Structure 1
Amino acid sequence: MGSIELVCPAGSPAMLKAAVEAGADSVYCGLRDETNARNFPGLNFSPEELAQAATWAHARGRKLLVAVNTFARAGQSARWRASVDAAATSGADAVILADLGLLAYARERWPDLRLHLSVQAAAGSPEAVRFYAQAYGVRRIVLPRVLSVQEVAALVRETEAETEAFVFGGLCVMAEGRCALSSYAARRSPNLCGVCSPPEAVSYTEEDEGLVSRLGGFALDQFAPGEKAGYPTLCKGRFEARGLLSYLFEDPVSLNAMSLLAGLKAAGVTAVKIEGRQRGKAYVARVAGAFRQAIDALDSGADPEAFAPLLTDLAEGGRETAGAYRKLWR
């Protein structure tokens, strides 16, 4: 069994170079518009930068993957098709798609372009994977973050497509690809506009009770002096219900599945993926470097778990989870 491919995020050309230099095998990025799910100001690539990035990565034996992973809106699908065209002409190694119409367009317009299925499509069963592979020629499935290691292994056994699993970074409570919470408060949703909790809708104010975070004017959390304050998203807000103050939807924690690398490799996973295109080059350099060491250790027969503590301070709220991979609930 070969080594697991390490796929790292790039929100900018500088971040892409940092990821590759730290040990990424592949880097994924998006264009500077709402066709990708990290549409934040100051992030992402122009078509020209995308072509330059592909050339730079290929010269170093690395791959460039382009995310066009939001859902096209009625009457505006030309914008999404243009992003697929830009990815194809840039020399990218694959495009990551979720929208069925875009998958059909990409297969017909660019028959030699390698297609990966975004986590946003939520293909979590062998039947779903086979459908995308047979109907659209999808070569790789980015697995939804709701499967245990045992479920991943069962899926791999019953399908022929490659699989890619998230192992580090932000977690989201949404049913993959169908989040609407952000749009209620901020009028923009991640799956249509490419941004969850847009920065212009976020605010922090010092009040008598402490630091208060808001989204679209709605108070989502309150922090005591010295308490770590996370980025305000509705799914990770702290609310009072029936007299109990708690995180009703999801605790503000980060995924770190480095301790499960051996299990994921044994399950047949092709690639592991780092989340965080919005986090910057220092972040990706540290995470890519730690996972590079862990994967190399695994390949040599050593225990990769020893490298997990290298990243604890990067976790949201200072807390980590193995997510659904080590599922104890149903």
Structure 2
Amino acid sequence: MSQKAMELVCPAGTPAALRTAVDAGADTIYCGFRDQTNARNFPGLNFSRKEMQQGIEYAGKNGSKVLVAVNTFAQAGNMDLWYKAIDDVAASDAHAIILADIGLLDYAASKHPDLRVHLSVQAAAANADMINYYAREFGAKRVVLPRVLTVQEIAAINKEISCETEVFIFGGLCVMAEGRCSLSSYCTGKSPNINGVCSPPGSVKYEDHGTHLESTLEGITINQYPKGEAAAYPTLCKGRFESLGETGYVFEDPVSLNAAQILPQLQEAGVTALKIEGRQRGKAYMAQVVKSFRQAVDAVAAGRSIDLDALLAPMTEGQKSTKGSYQKTWR
């Protein structure tokens, strides 16, 4: 029996990526302004106000929606930058704004009560009480859930809340509760809540020692790879450590999230929207991943099955993937 398809939410770090995502079949695109209000404020990425409006118009003409992420935590003494970003989103034709900072949520609810608000994963709302609080006090219509919940936990939450849920299904895998991780801040001195990245490229270094390749983050060794082993991007929570005479990965292997095989279970759990990670990715990546998941989401809605592993394997880190906490058996 056919049922309503889950919403496919796709990233766009540039106007070209936005158009690619729309053309590939994205229902919704999320992106941000080219300033500190955006957790992916990297050189060469993001949108001017004019580009954002053009992107919103392009998406609208092709049946897609745009979400604007104002998802960093505001800096004391410099609130005007964040307030202006919220004002600009409210004045645009964007479908919704994505917020994490509780003060900014209050500002949006007070100044722009008609603005649709989605709660960012950076708010780390991982239980029904927290989610209902944001929905009740600030009118949040959707929450992006942290990547630390099982499918069963998501289903239980959906039975107790009054708003929609959105979950990550592909791309980088954060194994901590987003918004609460202090590991990278300790190592690099930069906060993911403000700078938007747990392993800044400027802190990453690879050194060839002949017998092995060593990856470091701000001078701290994260991993050592024997000759011939693929080297992953170094993040602290996915480092290889020695403990009690054994060497291995404590939390999760350094691979990408791929939940394509469990889309039916996520739909059964009451999930409204499926989110692809990767605003820093290029057009080729976007086209392949979005087209693949468009087929998969439509197939699930129609009660059909589809195998995406072969199509998506080249897009994953080290050509390996995991279902993460959705079906996690902890070591």
State if a TM-score over 0.5 links the two structures: yes
Whichever residue aligns with residue 111 of structure 2, its letter is: R
Match of 1:210 in 2: 212
Pair 250,39 (structure 1): closer, same or farther in 2 beyond 3 Å: farther
CA contact (8 A) 1:212 1:223 kept: yes
Residue 253 of structure 1: CA displacement? Answer: 1.6
Cα deviation code 1:19-41 (max 9, x no counterpart): 11111100001122232222222
Match of 2:279 in 1: 277
Q: 2:18 aligns with which of 16, 36, 39?
A: 16
Q: 2:139 aligns with which of 132, 137, 142?
A: 137
Residue 117 of structure 1: CA displacement? Answer: 0.5
CA contact (8 A) 1:39 1:195 kept: no
Aligned-residue identity in percent: 57
Secondary structure at the counterpart of residue 191 of structure 1: helix
Residue 313 of structure 1: CA displacement? Answer: 2.5
Any unmatched runs of 5+ in structure 1? none
Cα deviation code 1:286-309 (max 9, x no counterpart): 1111110111111222113x2233
Any unmatched runs of 5+ in structure 2? none
Cα deviation code 1:49-98 (max 9, x no counterpart): 11111111111110000111121222222222222223223321111111
Alpha-carbon distance in 2 for matches of 1:20, 1:98 = 26
Alpha-carbon distance in 2 for matches of 1:138, 1:145 = 19
Pair 299,175 (structure 1): closer, same or farther in 2 beyond 3 Å: closer
Secondary structure at the counterpart of residue 168 of structure 1: strand
Alpha-carbon distance in 2 for matches of 1:34, 1:283 = 25
Alpha-carbon distance in 1 for matches of 2:147, 2:206 = 30
Secondary structure at the counterpart of residue 72 of structure 2: coil
Comparing 307-316 with 57-66, greater Cα deviation is found at: 307-316
Whichever residue aligns with residue 252 of structure 1, its letter is: P
Secondary structure at the counterpart of residue 195 of structure 2: coil
Match of 2:180 in 1: 178
Match of 2:80 in 1: 78
Alpha-carbon distance in 1 for matches of 2:41, 2:300 = 35
CA contact (8 A) 1:179 1:191 kept: no
Secondary structure at the counterpart of residue 242 of structure 2: strand
Match of 2:94 in 1: 92
Secondary structure at the counterpart of residue 45 of structure 1: coil
Whichever residue aligns with residue 254 of structure 1, its letter is: S
Please list, as runs of the form range in 1=range in 2, the aligned pairs for 1:245-324 lying within 5 A after superposition.
Answer: 245-304=247-306, 306-324=307-325
Please list, as runs of the form range in 1=range in 2, the aligned pairs for 1:225-244 lying within 5 A after superposition.
Answer: 225-244=227-246
Residue 242 of structure 1: CA displacement? Answer: 4.4
- TM-score by structure 2 length? 0.93
Q: 2:125 aligns with which of 120, 123, 126?
A: 123
Comparing 26-35 with 311-320, greater Cα deviation is found at: 311-320
Alpha-carbon distance in 2 for matches of 1:208, 1:91 = 56
Alpha-carbon distance in 2 for matches of 1:83, 1:11 = 17
Comparing 196-205 with 263-272, greater Cα deviation is found at: 196-205
- TM-score by structure 1 length? 0.94
CA contact (8 A) 2:171 2:258 kept: yes
Comparing 281-290 with 313-322, greater Cα deviation is found at: 313-322
Residue 160 of structure 1: CA displacement? Answer: 2.4
Alpha-carbon distance in 1 for matches of 2:228, 2:36 = 36
Secondary structure at the counterpart of residue 192 of structure 1: helix
Residue 170 of structure 1: CA displacement? Answer: 1.1
CA contact (8 A) 1:148 1:327 kept: yes
Cα deviation code 1:257-295 (max 9, x no counterpart): 111111111222111110111122111111111110111
Secondary structure at the counterpart of residue 300 of structure 2: helix
Query: How many equivalent pairs are there?
Result: 329
Match of 1:152 in 2: 154
Residue 321 of structure 1: CA displacement? Answer: 1.3
Comparing 205-214 with 103-112, greater Cα deviation is found at: 205-214
Alpha-carbon distance in 2 for matches of 1:216, 1:78 = 32
Pair 33,225 (structure 1): closer, same or farther in 2 beyond 3 Å: farther
CA contact (8 A) 1:169 1:254 kept: yes
